[in-house]
Homo-oligomer: A and B are copies of this chain.
Amino acid sequence: MAFSDIMKQVVNGTEGALGALVVGLDGIPVEEYSVSSEIDLQSMTVEYSTLLKEIEKGSQISELGTTKEVTVIADQAMIMLRRLNAEYFFVLVLKPEGNFGKGRFLLRMSVPKLLKEF
């Protein structure tokens, strides 16, 4: 299954999802699927990829090992970032009232499918 199809499944299966991205740790998106123009996914992702690097550094220093998942709940959106491999993350963005648990579940389930595409 193509990246875009897997991303569609996750986004369309999650109530309140705004979009999804596969993105490198350098912040460059590989693929994007958006169902809303409310949020600029790409510019948001560039900001958060800087965070990912910081979080990774924090985890290493605190000897917590590799970061597997990060979620940020802000006033305007919920962002879930799930590690795919050493270089790439899958990002799901939801409205504040979106179904967080469902998104998290579908995001996790989609990781092995996405990894087959690398």
Contact = CB atoms under 8 A, between A and B. Distances in A.
Interface of A: 39-40, 43-44, 47-48, 50-51, 54-55, 58-59, 61-77, 79, 101
A101 to B, nearest CB: 8
Tell me what chain A mostly uses at the interface: helix, strand, loop, or mixed. mixed
A74 B66 CA distance: 5
A70 B68 CA distance: 14
Contact of A74 (B40, B68, B73, B101): B68
Contact of A62 (B47, B66, B67, B73): B47
A74 to B, nearest CB: 4
B76 A63 contact: yes
